[in-house]
Amino acid sequence: MTHSQVVIRRFAEHDVPAALALNNENVPELNELDAPEVARLAALAETALVAEVNGEFAGFCWTIAPGQPYGSLNYGWFSRTYERFVYLDRIAVLPTFRRYGIGRRFYAALVEEYTGRWPLLTCEVNVRPRNDASLAFHHSIGFREVGQQDTDGGKKTVSLLALRLEG
């Protein structure tokens, strides 16, 4: 792999088409969205980030703070369980740019931004169907399971994860 410059920046309106395509390529790990919903969620987000590699869109992520009008079952679980948290709703990286450390860069940016502001960064990973790579990654950076729930009408089970942010 040649030397590549990875830049993490704020999500912009012109990122909607690329984020939409990447999101929908990653179903069932991510639920399918349409362009208006991508734009709505990015605007609703506490933080919405994009990764670029040598100036090219490589991935995105966004988090949602408590009290937002968002119907996700998993966000709902965290909202009922914790008063103060920030929820990593989705993270996706183009296959071409996997193994560039983009996921770790996204998490590092979020941890830096939220430490001292939010006590917990939360997310979920599928355990049915099992996503071993994502589970291993999240555990390696300090996430721990705080619950499980069935989603998608009982077709999926997720591990609900939280990372304590000291500050």
The answer to the question of residue 147 being in a domain is yes
Q: What is the domain count for the chain? A: 1
Check which CATH number belongs to the domain holding 26 and give it: 3.40.630.30
Residues 110-123 have pLDDT tens digits of 999 999 999 999 99
Please indicate, yes or no, if residue 1 is contained in any of the structural domains. no
Residue 63 falls within a domain, yes or no? yes
Q: State the pTM of this model.
A: 0.92
SS (H, E, C) 51-93: EEECCEEEEEEEEECCCCCCCCHHHHHHHHHCCCCEEEEEEEE
As beta bridge partners, residue 10 has: 49
pLDDT at 2 over 70: no
Of 87, 128, 106, which Cα lies nearest the Cα of 79? 87
Question: Mean pLDDT throughout 37-44?
Answer: 96
How many angstroms separate the CA atoms of 120 and 82, rounded? 9
Asked if omega into 95 is within 30° of 0 (cis), the reply is no
Provide the residue range defining the domain that includes 108. 6-164
